[in-house]
Structure 1
Amino acid sequence: MNTHPGIITLLGIAASVSLLSGWRLYLCILATGLAMHWHIVPLPEHLQALRVLASPWVMGAATLATLCEFFADKVPWIDTIWDTVHTAIRPIGGALLATAIVDPSDPTMQVVAFILGGGGALLAHSGKAGARAIVNVSPEPFSNIALSTTEDIATSGLLYVVYAYPYVSGAVAVGLLVLTGGMICVAWRTVGRIFRRKPTASRARP
């Protein structure tokens, strides 16, 4: 029986992984590598290009990077610096992961996956960075830690869902897009309110 998924399913998987890479690139790499190494998620033939992620060297580097991101992402303002540094890294990583997911014998689809994967990762990264900048304004650190931990859990859980049940990957991708769009809209509105308050405050001074 041919279990090779169709083009829509492939694009759904690629879109979901690239969007999640905009949140946690190193966790995406590590979780995928561990799943393949321990055979938790049996990858179909078309995803065997990702088997390089199960290399001990790749998983070791991804583990170190994941730990660094785990702690840096939970400290106010340090997380903003981390996000700024990764503005280019996450989209490139998301694009490469998306390219590895699609059929390597189809150059056109690989180019499409690379472009859309990079764009999706950049979009998700922008929503994450914007939401985190707003949370950092809060004087207490707990909201930052809670949001970061939620991202950790959501990324791990959704990665498993996408690989274990590829037929729902399209719905996962759409949900992530809607969530990312909402985060960006909230960030823009909050920034707009902050800038509108400043002139008012200036006129109120004697």
Structure 2
Amino acid sequence: MDEYQQLIAVISLTMGVAWASGLNLYAAILVLGFGGSTGNIELPENLQIVQDPAVMLAAGLMYAVEFFADKVPGVDTGWDALHTFIRIPAGALLAANTVGDVSPALQLAAGIVGGSVTSVTHAAKASTRVLINTSPEPVSNWLASFTEDVAVFGGLWVALNHPVLFLIGFVAFLFLLIWLLPKLWRGLARIFRKIGQWLGLVDETREALDVGGGGILPADTLLTAGYAPPRRDEKTLVEALQELEAMHKSGALSDAEFEQAKASVIAGK
């Protein structure tokens, strides 16, 4: 039973560190370093380097910079873009060092899984911030940033003290990401299309598309999915419906968007 509990604790710490690094790497290092240096956390030998005063001082300095940068609309997105090249490898390295004195193969496996968790967490955070920045008020940025900080401190505390509870929440988080990320990417594509229109790179006359000649759908919906409206002399009704069906199965169109597009094509034909 002790070995089983120890295994659960290691998995919880590995996933917790990787997940937290995707949200706020410096906060995660501070939590581990402070907990280890005060004796509240017994860190694996390979991870005890975060207890070093120099590491904690550097992490604290960078956390202070990120604390303010992360709450300024626009600056937070630039900060996230820069940290794509910092959080992911650092998260993989921390995850690899949480498994203790094991074979290099297991350390590499932990690093691969940890890096993947950090990357999807970072992608969700960065994408959400881009969408939030479309709002002119700064309150939503502050709320999102404070929520992320609290989540890192609270999440790591749960991972270290209640590993089973953390792993249950972590699995729920992964399912949430599977559902959420496609929607975030579609939202980002709409934003980039708007930016393209402002810069004159996208034809604004295509803002709305007449699908099959029978109804209007927003261009953001169909162009984002890569759909071009069929011309009467180029595609038959069957071909147009087959194309929409393929887009629906791939997830490019939601159920509601698919039904609306299909009805428009049929009505137009």
For normalisation by structure 1, the TM-score amounts to 0.86
Q: Is 1:43 the equivalent of 2:42? A: yes
1:33 is matched with which residue?
Answer: 33
2-side partners of 1:170 and 1:104: how far apart? 22
1:18 is matched with which residue?
Answer: 18
Q: CA RMSD in A?
A: 2.5
State whether residues 32 and 41 of structure 2, in contact with CA within 8 Å, keep that contact through their aligned partners in structure 1: no
2:133 is matched with which residue?
Answer: 136
1-side partners of 2:164 and 2:45: how far apart? 18
Q: How does 1:105-144 map to 2 (within 5 A)?
A: 105-144=102-141
2-side partners of 1:132 and 1:33: how far apart? 28
Per-residue deviation, 1:20: 1.4
Q: Given the alignment, which residue of 205, 208, 219 partners 1:202?
A: 205
Give deviations 1:134-188, integer Å, cap 9, x for gaps.
Answer: 0001111110110111000111100111112223332232133234334423312
2:166 is matched with which residue?
Answer: 169
- Give structure 2 stretches of 5+ with no counterpart: 209-269
Q: The residue matched to 2:84 in structure 1 has which SS?
A: coil
Per-residue deviation, 1:49: 2.7
The structure-2 alpha-carbon separation of the partners of 1:38 and 1:183, relative to structure 1 and needing over 3 Å to count, comes to farther
Q: Given the alignment, which residue of 143, 150, 155 partners 1:153?
A: 150
Q: The residue matched to 1:88 in structure 2 has which SS?
A: helix
* Equivalent pairs, count: 202
Percent of aligned pairs sharing the same letter: 37
Computing the radius of gyration from Cα coordinates, the structure with the larger value is 2
State whether residues 18 and 118 of structure 1, in contact with CA within 8 Å, keep that contact through their aligned partners in structure 2: yes
Please state which structure has a larger fraction of its residues in helix.
1
- Give structure 1 stretches of 5+ with no counterpart: none
1-side partners of 2:193 and 2:49: how far apart? 50
| Farther-moved stretch of structure 1 (179-188 vs 162-171) | 179-188
Q: The residue matched to 1:91 in structure 2 has which SS?
A: helix
2-side partners of 1:166 and 1:48: how far apart? 20
2:55 is matched with which residue?
Answer: 58
2-side partners of 1:76 and 1:170: how far apart? 33
- Opposite residue 97 of structure 1, the aligned amino acid is L
Q: The residue matched to 1:138 in structure 2 has which SS?
A: coil
For normalisation by structure 2, the TM-score amounts to 0.67
